[in-house]
Amino acid sequence: MNLAAFTALPDEARLWLLALERPTEAAALAPELDALLSRWRHKGTQYQAAWALLEQRIVAIAEPTLAAAPSGCAIDGMLRGVSQAATKAGNALADPQAVHVRLADGLHALARADLAARLADGTLSPATPVLDLALLTLGDLRRGKLERPLAATWIGRKFGVVVA
């Protein structure tokens, strides 16, 4: 996972992880996201954000100011802008309620309603890597907390999945 775009940002920087419906190249998103983040400001505050595309599916945006002084309006505007950038690149943001898992053939977004069936049919196991798109800080991403085994997530707790 290439996190070079975040080199100048502290571990405490606020992080947003947004999944795309389909894989894409960073170059397809770059013009729109670069422009969006360069003009991202609210009530006189210019934000110093950086972004990266992880796994060709996860847009990661980090910004240090909003960790200490969050602005819902500024965040909402940024999220709308990312959605528009994805649309202009011929993609869309995935359902935020979807569960993103790594299977043998790559990343998949599963509807929460399908989890019990996927556990029952063996598609998902206790060791299946689940992506945690709710990470709050860049430091968590740097420390490798993006993926955890299914048994160690809320899914494991909900369905009583234990490590074999």
Per-residue pLDDT of the chain (164 residues; tens, 9 = 90+): 789 999 999 999 999 999 999 999 999 999 999 999 999 988 888 899 999 999 999 999 999 988 777 788 889 999 999 999 999 999 999 999 999 999 999 999 999 999 999 999 999 999 999 999 999 999 999 999 999 999 999 999 999 998 76
Number of domains in the chain: 2
Residues 8 and 83 in one domain: yes
Residues 83 and 104 in one domain: no
Domain ends where: 88, 109, 129? 88
Q: What's the confidence (pLDDT) of residue 164? A: 65
Q: Reduce the DSSP state of residue 9 to 3 states and report it.
A: coil
* pTM: predicted TM-score of the whole model, two decimal places: 0.92
Q: How far is CA 144 from the centre of its chain?
A: 13
Domain ends where: 38, 61, 88? 88
Residues 76 and 16 in one domain: yes
Residues 110 and 148 in one domain: yes
Phi, psi of 91 (to 5 degrees): -135, -170
CATH number at residue 31: 3.30.310
Residues 105 and 73 in one domain: no
Q: What's the confidence (pLDDT) of residue 17? A: 97
Structure tokens at 120: 């029952």
C-alpha–C-alpha distance, residues 26 and 31, integer Å = 9
C-alpha–C-alpha distance, residues 125 and 157, integer Å = 13
Residues 81 and 104 in one domain: no
Residues 19 and 80 in one domain: yes
* In a domain? residue 104: yes
C-alpha–C-alpha distance, residues 68 and 13, integer Å = 9
Residues 155 and 126 in one domain: yes
Domain ends where: 88, 113, 135? 88
C-alpha–C-alpha distance, residues 121 and 98, integer Å = 19
Residues 11 and 68 in one domain: yes
Structure tokens at 133: 């798109």
C-alpha–C-alpha distance, residues 98 and 11, integer Å = 27
Structure tokens at 51: 């972004």
Q: What's the confidence (pLDDT) of residue 162? A: 85
* In a domain? residue 93: no
Residues 74 and 17 in one domain: yes
Q: Which domain holds residue 139?
A: 99-159
Structure tokens at 93: 């943001």
Amino acid of residue 61: I
Mark 64-92 as b/e (b = at least 16 C-beta within 10 Å).
bbbbeeeeeebbeebeebbeebbeebebe
Residues 72 and 136 in one domain: no
